[in-house]
Amino acid sequence: MDTIRDRVVLLTGASRGMGRVFAVAFARAGADLVLVARDAAGLESCAAEVRALGRVAHVLPADLGDTASLAGVAARAIQIAGRIDVVVHNAGIEPFIRFEEIAPATLEQVVAVNFTAPAVLTHALVPHMLARGSGHVVFLGSTSSLFAAPYAALYGATKSAVSGLSRSLSAEFSGRGVGFSVIQPGFVVGTGMFADVVAGKGLTPPAAIGSTTSDAVVAATIDAILRDRPDVIVNSVPVGGGAGLARMLPGVGMAFMRKAVAPFMAKLADASKR
């Protein structure tokens, strides 16, 4: 895709946090948006920011956990906007919690929102993109998919699934006009789910793990769309090589996670309860 300007972007999780950052950035780049989330009031507020920048914003309240409704959400998005050029699967649930404390309903909701919803929405929208001969789908993954994720096992597992789906689709649809990218940020400081948990608690990611910013994630996402980059890690520490080493030497990788990462993640799990 050669430009974002005058494209229509369907953005999930658009009512708050990173979703609003994405919406404003796409609007500033000249895109129109279809904003999807459960919070109708939050969506209207986000839409007002987009419209203030001179772009079109359609509000589409939807519960992404209700996967049976998502084909209808895709059809409605096409109907109200006329077309969908780009999809950004930003919505997600990031529970920092001890695995044995996860309620069954929470487990089902995290899987539905983090993995099933992006998969179902993509399945519903890809035929539309193929028919037009152009389109791009972005999945928001996480560096937690590259390593073990203690106290965030369910989140890490769903992001691993999302990453695998995106890579497979990128290979399968090569040369057909539709691109796929997975953006894998580290801890996003300042805005978003991680920032909400640590706000006012004095918790910062260990230097060995690194972090990133919302602006860096947005910039990497737009670059991935324009350059059809299939897999992008966004982090202050170059963790890609470490992930490869951990696969070759799993004992070393697990020792690092237990000693350098697990104590911090345990503090996050405790902070999430407060």
Which residues are known catalytic residues? Answer: 155
Euclidean distance between CA atoms 152 and 155, whole angstroms: 5
Alpha-carbon distance 175 to 188, whole Å?
A: 33
Q: Which residues contact 176 (CB under 8 A, 6 or more apart)?
A: 130
Chain-centre distance for alpha carbon 48: 23
CA distances from 33 to 53, 90, 96, 193, 214 (A): 12, 13, 31, 22, 19
> Residue 246 class from Cβ within 10 Å (0-12 exposed, 13-18 middle, 19+ buried)?
buried
- Give the separation between CA 59 and CA 36, rounded to whole angstroms: 7
Phi and psi based region of residue 47 (left: phi greater than 0; alpha: psi -120 to 50; beta: remaining):
alpha
Instruction: Provide the greatest CA pair distance for the chain.
Output: 54
Q: Which two tokens stand for residue 3?
A: 């430009």
